Amino acid sequence: MSSFETDRHCHLLLAPQGPVYSLGTYNSMRECEQSGGYNMQSLNAIQLREMVETKYFGNVDMKFLEATADCFDPDATFTIQTANLTHNGISEIRRMFNDFFSSYKKIWHGEFHHVIDIERQAVAVQFIATRDTFDGEHQRASNCNFFHFENGKIKTVRVYMSDENPLV
């Protein structure tokens, strides 16, 4: 289990091997803060996994638009490969998520299987996605996303879906 304590832009992740301060490994919250927190260049494996599962998918599932948008670099691209569609920049990505969130009663992502490349700041994740429409239809897909991070934010995401694209 993970828990986070917030102190400005540094977050404490309690991991089995001990505390890991978000966006770098530090001895204290003060050291993290002095280093600039979110200005760090790279995330470790635990942080990359948490960024994908908790910060990104967790906020998508809760339909928290601003928290989801905050995961992205302002110049990020979000490409749905199986639909030949790309959303460029945070305003297009925010609009896409706003439309997606308003189209479904319930959204869930889980059963994650990751491949994490720390050196390249990349995560490939296979997962199950379910969506419940407002008229009672239950949709289920097996998808793969490929994330690339820069400075602790999603710079690119490429999505492969097993069903029709709801991210228009």
Q: Residue 90: which CATH number? A: 3.10.450.50
pTM of the complete model: 0.75
The answer to whether 135 and 104 are in contact (CB under 8 A) is no
Which pLDDT belongs to residue 23? Answer: 42
- Give the pLDDT confidence of 36-80 residue by residue, as tens digits: 544 456 999 999 999 999 999 999 999 999 999 999 999 999 999
Region 114-129 average pLDDT: 97
What's the DSSP call for residue 52? I
The answer to whether 78 and 56 are in contact (CB under 8 A) is no
Residue 165 forms part of a structural domain: no
Same domain, 52 and 33: no
Same domain, 69 and 91: yes
- The tokens for 131 are 């969506």
Same domain, 22 and 101: no
For residue 130, the enclosing domain spans 45-160
Same domain, 103 and 121: yes
Residue 167 forms part of a structural domain: no
**Is pLDDT above 60 for 10?**
no
